[in-house]
Amino acid sequence: MTLVGLFIMASLFFYFSTGISIKNLLIGSNSTPLKKVQKPTPPSEYHGWVAWWDETNALDSLSENSGAFKSVSPVWYKINEQGTLEETPHKQGEQIKIVANKQTNKLIPTITNEFDSRRTSLVLNNSDKSQDLIESLKTLVLNSNYLGVDIDWEEINPKDQQAFTAFIKNLSEVMHQNNLTLTVSVHPQTGKFTDRAIARGYNLKALSESADAVKIMAYDFHNQNSNPGAITPLSELTKVLKYTVSIVPTEKVILGLPTYGYDWEIGSGKAADAVSFTESLERVNKNNGQTTRDMESFSLVGSYTVDGKKHLIWFEDAQTISKMIEKARVTGIYQFSFWRIGVEDPGLWAKLLKKV
C-alpha cells in the first residue's frame, strides 16, 4: 500500500472514531471557533492632578507616595481672557517640583481654561492666537524641563469641536518634534445622544490619534449643582468604559477617578460643598451622624443634621476607588489619574499598590 493510501485509511479511521475530520483538525471547525487569545492587562499605573489652591495637602501626599506616581499634573497654567498663556497663583511650585521629581521627572502641568468656553473659542478661531499659544507652550515646557503638557479645556462649545481637534493635532506635532508628551483631559462620553452637553465639544477618537493619551474625567455625574448621589455611579462608568475602549486604544486611555466628596444641604437649593475624605468623616462624626456604604456605587454616604438641617455627603474611600479600577482593568485599561492628590483616603495607596 502506498503512503497516500495509508494516509486515507488513517483519516477514515480517525473520522469514524472521533467525528472530526483531518481538515477541521488542521484549520478549525466552523461549529467550534478558536478563542482569541487576549493580551494580559499590564500592571496599573497611577497619575494625579494637583490643585493650585490646595498645594499643602498635595505636598503631604506626594511626600509620602511620590514613588507611586507615573506623572503629576499641577494646575499651574491657564489661558486668560485674552487667549494667552498665564500662570495660576500657585505658591509652592518649587517644593512640588522637588518632591514630584524625587525619582524621575514626572511633571506634566495642566493648562486650564477655567471652564470658560469663550476663551477657548477665542484661541481656536484665531490662527495667530492658536500658533502663538502653541509656541508659548513649547517654550514653557523646554525652559522648565517638564515632560510635556496636559490640556484640560472643559465645557468647549460643540461648534468648536473641529477647531479643537485641529489645534490638538498641530500642538502634538510640535510637542513630538521636541520629544515632549501631550495629554488631553476630556469629559466622559458613551456615544449616545444622552451624553452631557459639556462632553460634545470633543471628538474623542480624533483627539486620541494626535495625543499621547486622553484622560477621561469619569466623575461629577452627581455634582455641586445636582441632586445628591454617587460622583461616579458604576453603571455610568461601565457605559463610559465600553464606549471608550471601542474607539481608543487602551494604551492611550488614562481613566480619571474622584478622590473627593460632595456635601449637600438637603432642600436648601445651595451648591454642595466639595470635601476631602478626612473632612467628610469629620463632619459626620462631629455632628453624631452615620456613614453607610451604597452597594450599587460602593461610595460612602454620610448623613448628619446641624442646626435642624439635614446633610448628605457622598464620598470615596480606598474600597470605592479599588472597585472602579477593577472594573476598568477588565476592559484592558491600566492607567489611572486622580482628581485630586491630597484629598484622598490615606489608606488608598497601601491598598492599590498591594492589590492592583
Distance from C-alpha of 165 to C-alpha of 203, rounded to nearest angstrom: 7
In this structure, CATH architecture of domain 45-259+317-355: Alpha-Beta Barrel (3.20)
* Domain residue limits, the chain: 45-259+317-355
pLDDT tens for the chain, 356 residues: list them. 444 444 444 444 444 444 444 334 333 433 333 333 378 999 999 999 999 999 999 999 999 987 899 999 999 999 999 999 999 999 999 999 999 888 777 999 999 999 999 999 999 999 999 999 999 999 999 999 999 999 999 999 999 999 999 999 999 999 999 999 999 999 999 999 889 999 999 999 999 999 999 999 999 999 999 999 999 999 999 999 999 999 999 999 999 999 999 999 999 999 999 999 999 999 999 999 999 999 999 999 999 999 999 999 999 999 999 999 999 999 999 999 999 999 999 999 999 998 54
Specify the pTM. Answer: 0.89
The closest of 155, 153, 156 to 171, measured between CA atoms, is 153
